[in-house]
Amino acid sequence: MEPLIQLEHVSVHYRAPSERVATFKEYAIRRLQGKIKHREFLALKDVNLTINQGEVFGLIGHNGAGKSTLLKVVSRVLLPTTGRVVIRGRVAPLLEVGAGFHPELTGHENIFLNGAILGFTRTQMENKFQSILDFSELGEFIDAPMRTYSSGMWARLGFAVATDERPDILIVDEVLAVGDEAFQRKCFARINRFREEGTTILLVAHNMELIQQMCQRAAWLHHGELKSLGEPDEVIQAYRQAQ
């Protein structure tokens, strides 16, 4: 069985200009003066990581440690600057659920739009529609513009669309902090079912109990480097000791 996620010597550089040069004129002037300075910022440094099928893998680290960058590489939003990434299977990104929704469109319309963004066809979405509606518990609100939704309703629909079909890889980025407790339970039940059916789950959380409870392995990222990798308890201990 080949691993579903493989990162080999992956580095991601951001070329952040030390000052923001927002206009072309400013850029041209500074360029002529030789004043363009780029601060090479390494969001990930030579990360090697292999995640197998069916694993629940936790990522911890302080803010800005590179966790989100790693998730973006796995979900194909960012390309590695050096190294190689292999992804085997369909990825469902839960990076901020519902990012593709438009507030002026109804929930119904947004289901189809978001489905297309995630790469599904219209026929596939028509077949999924009822189960998405049931899971989101939106009822009649489904035909109201989404600007009238509460943030909880927004998140519910986002989660329902992104996870209607079991993905091979599920990326969970603390999104479950939204919605009420009952809905959170429902989300966890679904994630657990996916796990039992063989989905690989990549979980980012600041809540260490959650990592201990759910993950088989975990990794600690610190300033873009993989500091520790292994059993969640050991990784969390290493992380806590360093603080």
Partner 1 sequence: MVPQPKTLIAKNGTTPTVFLRPSHGWAALNLRDLWQYRELVYFLSWRDIKVRYKQAVLGATWAIIQPLMMMVVFTFIFSRWANLPSGNLPYPIFNYSGLMPWLLFSSALSRASMSLVGSSNLLTKVYFPRLAIPLASVMAAVVDFGFSLLVFFGLMIYYQIPLTWNILALPVFVLLAVLLAFSISLWLSALNVMYRDVQHMVPFLINIWFYISPIAYGSEIITSPTWQFIYQFNPIVGIIDGVRWTLVGGAFPGTSLLITLAFMLLVLVGGLFYFRRMEKIFADMV
Binding interface with partner 1 (CB under 8 A): 14-15, 22-25, 27, 72-73, 75-91, 93, 95-96, 99-100, 102, 104-105, 109, 112-113, 116-119, 121-122, 145, 168
Residue 212: CB minimum distance to partner 1, A = 28
Residue 48: CB minimum distance to partner 1, A = 15
Beta bridge mates, 201? 56, 170
Residue 231: CB minimum distance to partner 1, A = 28
User: Distances from the Cα of 133 to the Cαs of 118, 148, 208, in angstroms?
Assistant: 17, 17, 33
- Write down the residue that tokens 């989905």 correspond to: 199
Q: Quick one: tokens of 205? A: 């959380």
Burial class from Cβ neighbours inside 10 Å (0-12, 13-18, 19+) for residue 21 reads: middle
Residue 38: CB minimum distance to partner 1, A = 12
What phi and psi, each to the nearest 5 degrees, are found at residue 221?
-100, 135
- Distance, in Å, from the CA atom of 223 to the CA atom of 139, rounded to the nearest integer, reads 45
Angle between helices 122-136 and 107-117 (to 10 degrees): 130
Q: In terms of CB distance, is 21 or 238 closer to partner 1? A: 21
Q: In terms of CB distance, is 81 or 212 closer to partner 1? A: 81
Which residues, 6+ apart, have CB-to-CB distance to 93 below 8 Å?
A: 71, 75, 77, 162, 171
Q: In terms of CB distance, is 6 or 192 closer to partner 1? A: 6
Residue 1: CB minimum distance to partner 1, A = 12
Q: In terms of CB distance, is 121 or 213 closer to partner 1? A: 121
Residue 208: CB minimum distance to partner 1, A = 26
Q: In terms of CB distance, is 7 or 208 closer to partner 1? A: 7
What phi and psi, each to the nearest 5 degrees, are found at residue 230?
155, -145
Q: In terms of CB distance, is 102 or 206 closer to partner 1? A: 102
Which residues, 6+ apart, have CB-to-CB distance to 119 below 8 Å?
A: none
